[in-house]
A and B are shown apart, each in its own frame.
Chain A
Amino acid sequence: MTNHWIDLKNSDCILIMGSNAAENHPISMKYVTEAQSRGGKLISVDPRFTRTSAKADIYAPLRSGTDIAFLGGMIKYIIDNKLYNEADVVAYSDASFLVGDGFDFKDGLYSGYDAGKRAYDASKWTYQLDASGVPKKDLTLQDKRCVFQLLKTHYSRYAPDQVSKITGTPKKDLLEVYKAYAATGAKGKAGTIMYAMGWTQHTVGVQNIRAMSIIQTLLANMGVAGGGVNALRGESNVQGSTDHGLLFHILPGYIATPATNWPKLEDYLKRRPKSSDPLSANWWQNEPKYMVSLLKAYFGDAATANNEFGYPWMPKLDAGKAYSWLDLFDAMYNGSIKGFFAWGMNPACSGANAGKTRAAMKNLDWMVNVNLFDNETGSFWRGPGMDPAKIKTEVFMLPACVSVEKEGSITNSGRWMQWRYQGPKPLGESRPDGDIILALGNKLKELYKKEGGAFPEPILGLKWDYADSHGEFEPHKVAKTVNGYFLEDVTIDGTVYKKGTLVPTFGLLQANGSTSSGCWVYCGSYTEKGNMAARRNLQDAPNGIGLYPEFAWAWPVNRRIIYNRASVDLQGQPYDPKDWVIKWDGSKWVGDVPDGPWPPLENLQSPNAKARWPFIMTRHGFATIFGAGLKDGPFPEHYEPLECPVEKNYMNAQRINPTAPVWGGKADAFATCDPRFPYVGTTYRVSEHWQTGLMTRYQSWLMEMQPQMFVEMSEELAALRQIKNGERVKAVTARGQVECTAIVTKRFKPFKLADIVVHEVGFPWHYGWRWPASGKEESVNLLTPSTGDPNTRIPESKAFMVNIVKI
């Protein structure tokens, strides 16, 4: 979230699209309800009328996988009706930047496409730079090559009738949503978006969010209270695990994983683009300080300037190769991965095309399953369709204790790092994950020391001092390492920081090995003043908008609303004087922690030389409507899901995202416009279960409420297929089948597209054969396809084609 949970209450219009907050983030509705009671509007856009829709002032249905068409139509509506905040768009976004002649868009393809590689050469998608290397601008937004005009042209095709033909949303519903949301472009009004996997799990996942980011930029909703772009994370600490490098392509703090195209530390450290604009903070230019401090946190004294601080020891990605979920299980399926730790995960149920994943596990020599309970993954060898006699995989179960049985921190969607104390002691032989990892590391070090091995240096060089006096994992030691230390006496601006003390803020991290930090964005979370995440002060900030700055700690630098420099005018005065975030008092900023201490710009023609442009994380300092850094183009464009119900894309000549990854194996079968699979299928969660259900399916109070796998369908489809409410049916896709109980409901309606009627059905995610004992309540991921977003490679679990048959 750019903002945070409590801040939702400050919104004048909340769009919940690509998420179902009432069912999956129930506590958020406390703040949504508060916004509504203060006169704010709630809009729910969802293929199905949900418990969120039940509370909404406006509900609009759309066919799964057509969000860009819907949002593109909103961009057009905002531009055509001049509802954007022109002053803000000119001052703080790249709308005025001129784009180079190499950029073009024709027949659904951007310039630079290579069909053989299913990839673009994105080097042509650039701004025009002046002689000093600063983007050329047209502040009147009239130049045909300025971003604003290109945007306008691009979305001129997204007229309501055309959008409605694709999304199936009645035109009047579309316009009602557009009108209500676009009204937040008025000065002092704030609109916000709450999205989740309903937007990410598509072959156009990143572009769904880009489309909304463009809308938020046009309406000047960034950085303001009750605004922003807010991802509701699917697990209470997913934000924390992402911050700390969960994904294959990033290390802790969102710095890139080393790769073969940067063989030396020097290559790695110089790869970030420089800005020639003295007013651009271009914050990533500080990355060398963060990378070197990270290497010092990993390798301690073993990391020196002479050995590139241990950079040669870091594993390197093969340049251009992806190692995401689908890629890893494909490699396992093809026999090239032989050992596997399933740590706090249940891939036999949780990932797309789970049938392939289960088959892949048969190729393993060993698997270590670290979890609270045995699950469908640890027991895959005795699952449906498996012959244990023919499976050689050795499975080790390591029982982990549950979160409340250990001390540590979680970071919620709003970037708040909150320290939690241990409740009950771990049951039986279960242990905290930290203990298990610590013991594993100790053993590896011992074996490498004794036996040598192919490449012992990284393991032997690893700083591994996280044990307490009893040899057990000590979370405070890790939290301090994450924050970072001065490793020698350092003098900065006349202040001496003593060796061994904690670094108070990331602005003081160094690239010369004199500081360490395990995750630079968390620097400042645990300082000589104490554990900031453990704070529980209930005093609000002077602006009274619910920041509670001394309750827990938010990254970065306890900033509660990021991009907050965009919430003020050029004089530093808030657009919204009532719910203001920051303001300039003549000598300093007051309110939230600003995005840097620099004074206001004052005016655009000759800005204060000490000022900085507000979007400090981008190269040039501006919100980027023209998103040149992505694999699938600078503007979001509607493409159909890999499996879709229409022969052609009504918007352009490409049916699917031309860069979407497609696997070609037998286990990856897909079927589009295939009469065997006539209905759109989607997946979701229910309030009553959690993830793959491992923690909830054994809980009788929750099973009582949602006892069985189900499929929801419209009354019209049920009549067509003669299916009765409550009847058991079978859902079938090109990859697998699952038995479900039919819920026939008014909450799904058939979609009227251009010349056809399309039915959609939906399935919950939470079941698996291990429990309940019948073994018949199976994972919906036996149905979902092997494809995903080209940027993140998250699977397309939200739109696929399915048939429903009677049993």
Chain B
Amino acid sequence: MTKAFFVDTTTCTACRGCQVACKQWHGLPGDKTTNHGSYQNPEDLNFTTYKLVRMTEAEIDNKLRWLFFADQCRHCLEPPCLEAAGEPTAIYKDRATGAVLYTRVTKDLDADSIISSCPYNIPRKGPDGSLAKCDMCNDRVSNGLLPACVKACPTGTMNFGEYKDMREYARVRLAEVRHKFPKATLLNPDKVRVIYLTAFEPTTYWEYAVASQREFDMTRAMAMQRLFRPFTDLFARLG
């Protein structure tokens, strides 16, 4: 039975417990940041930040909204990055949970093509050229624990469970939320294991919140190209 997240942004208060819990569980350092005129910090995901609450001020229908989007890897059902890599020792899917996992071997991949394959702009390159992103706390999950971000969430924004249950819960919440927010929507629910619910136009939250079918097709095409690349090239890079 594979797993999924349901992220209900309508209840998120941007307390950022998830952001800290992620760093804590993974033993990641706090970045040396400066205040750049926003609460959102670090400014973007990076090699040591897998989870980031994006915060956007927007006037929608003459009302001020402060939109919070707890961004992370979507653990796609058919991950373009995995296909783009074509190298299971670098990027693979955990059969039990469905988590898309990166290893140190990612340093031997063409990082830029992996990053550009992601319709959600998630993977980030480290100093050694390897790639990093959310790993679904696969070690916790395989041992019967919730992912750290879900465990830390006080408001029911971050949910985790069986894939089927999360899809169902997402549908139920969408129906409830639509009474208050008629434009509420689920983001790519058929393509990902991290299903977001937004109250407003998803790109108002974040440019890469939702992927279009075209983006999936494009990354698929790139991946196919990759498959036909001469093996020598790959061996050369692995060497």
Judge whether B15 and A54 touch: CB under 8 Å.
no
CB-CB under 8 A from B39, the residues of chain A are 686, 705-706, 743
With contacts A22-B13, A704-B41 taken as known, whether A27 is within 8 angstroms of B154 at the C-beta atoms is yes
Q: Quick check: is A143 within 8 A (CB to CB) of the other chain?
A: no
Q: Report how many A-B pairs have Cβ atoms within 8 Å.
A: 106
C-alpha gap A686/B30 in the complex (Å): 18
Which residues of A have CB within 8 Å of B57?
745-747
| Binary per-residue interface labels of chain B (8-40) against chain A in the complex, 1 for a CB within 8 Å, 0 otherwise | 000101111101100110000111111111110
Question: Size class of B's contact patch?
Answer: 35 or more
In the assembled complex, the CB of B98 is this many whole angstroms from the nearest CB of chain A, namely 28
Determine whether the beta carbon of A26 is less than 8 Å from that of B37. Answer: no
Smallest beta-carbon distance B27→chain A, Å:
11
Beta-carbon contact of B65 and A54 below 8 Å? yes
For residue A725, CB closer than 8 A to chain B, the reply is: yes
Cβ B35 vs Cβ A26 within 8 A = no
Q: Is the CB of A26 within 8 A of B15?
A: yes
Q: Residue on A with the closest CB to B28?
A: A701
Would you call A726 and B35 a contact (CB within 8 A)? yes
CA–CA, A699 to B37, complex, Å? 21
Minimum CB–CB distance for A233 against chain B, Å: 17
Q: Is B66 positioned at the interface, with any CB of A under 8 Å from its CB?
A: yes
Q: Whole-angstrom distance between the alpha carbons of A701 and B50 in the complex?
A: 13
Q: Kindly list chain B residues whose C-beta atoms are within 8 Å of the C-beta of A57.
A: 180
Q: Does A704 lie within 8 Å of B31, measured CB to CB?
A: yes
Cα of A282 to Cα of B155 in the assembled complex, Å: 42
Q: Given A29-B154, A708-B35, do A701 and B20 touch, yes or no (CB 8 Å)? A: yes
Knowing A30-B156, A746-B64, the reply to whether A708 touches B34 (Cβ < 8 A) is: yes
Most buried by B among A53, A727, A746: A746
Instruction: Tell me which residues from 113 to 141 in chain B have a Cβ below 8 Å from any Cβ of chain A.
Output: none
Closest to A699 in B: B30
B59 interface hit (Cβ, 8 Å): yes
Q: Which of B17, B59, B66 has the most CB of A within 10 A?
A: B66
Docked complex Cα distance between A707 and B67 (Å): 22
Residues on the A chain within 8 Å of B16, using CB: 687-688, 705
B35 is contacted by which of A53, A59, A706 (Cβ under 8 Å)? Answer: A706
- B33-69 interface mask toward A, CB cutoff 8 Å, 1 = contact, 0 = none? 1111111011000000000000001010000111110
Distance (Å) between the CB of A720 and the closest chain B CB? Answer: 17
Least CB distance from A328 to B in Å reads 34
Question: Is the pair B17, A747 in contact by a Cβ cutoff of 8 Å?
Answer: no
Least Cβ–Cβ distance between B44 and chain A, in angstroms: 13
When distances are taken between beta carbons in the complex, the residues of chain B under 8 Å from A688 are 16
| CB-defined contacts of B154 to chain A, threshold 8 Å | 26-27, 29-30
Chain B residue at minimal CB-CB distance from A50: B66
Min CB gap B35→A, angstroms: 4
**Closest chain B CB from A168 CB (angstroms):** 16
Closest 7 CB pairs of A and B: A700-B30, A726-B37, A725-B37, A704-B30, A22-B13, A54-B66, A26-B15
The contact sample of 18 A-B pairs, CB cut-off 8 A, is: A23-B15, A27-B154, A30-B154, A54-B67, A55-B11, A688-B16, A699-B30, A700-B30, A701-B30, A704-B31, A705-B41, A707-B35, A708-B34, A725-B38, A726-B36, A727-B37, A741-B37, A743-B35
Q: Which residues of A contact B (CB under 8 A)?
A: 22-23, 26-27, 29-30, 33, 37, 49, 51-55, 57, 59, 686-688, 699-708, 710, 724-727, 741-747
